[in-house]
Amino acid sequence: MPGTVGDPKKAEEAFEMMLGRTPAEMRAEIAARKQTEILRAAEEARKKAEATRRAEIAEGLAETQKDLDPRKMGGKRRVTAKRFCGCVKKVKAQKKKRSEGSAIAICTSSLLWPHGKTLHSVTCRRNKSLKTQKRRATRKK
């Protein structure tokens, strides 16, 4: 096994691992170990980034938590509103004849309908906001 030449303890572990196992089983175990190492490293990186974020807030570099992570503290709606307003702006700019109402309709059908939502109200000015509601599966009679 590579990397076990210098350490006799690791060499012994590798030899014991090989006894009575097929090559496929050994590869699967090695892959599982690597996956655990990758996940552990990712978790450490996430914790380090979170600590950095908290330090920035404490130092006053970021005014609020929302400035750092827009999905926190109700920010998911803001992210969706940003995408929606960007879509409306693009669609409206594509053809000069198209009104804002038709651009909103196109963006509603492409961004909200796949998630089972429909538009309740939208504001695309300085503070973008988007309120949605569930679509009815069947028509009420």
Would 65 be classed as within a structural domain? no
Please check whether residue 15 is in contact with residue 4, taking contact to mean a CB–CB distance below 8 angstroms. no
50 and 82 fall within a common domain: no
Q: Are residues 95 and 123 in the same domain?
A: yes
How many other C-beta atoms are found inside a 10 Å radius of the C-beta of residue 85?
A: 19
d(CA 67, CA 58): 13
Range of the domain at 79: 75-134
The number of folded domains in the chain is: 2
Per-residue pLDDT of the chain (141 residues; tens, 9 = 90+): 455 456 777 777 777 766 777 778 878 888 898 999 999 999 999 899 888 877 776 666 555 555 555 555 555 666 688 888 888 888 888 867 778 888 888 888 888 888 888 888 888 888 888 888 887 766 666
3 within some domain: no
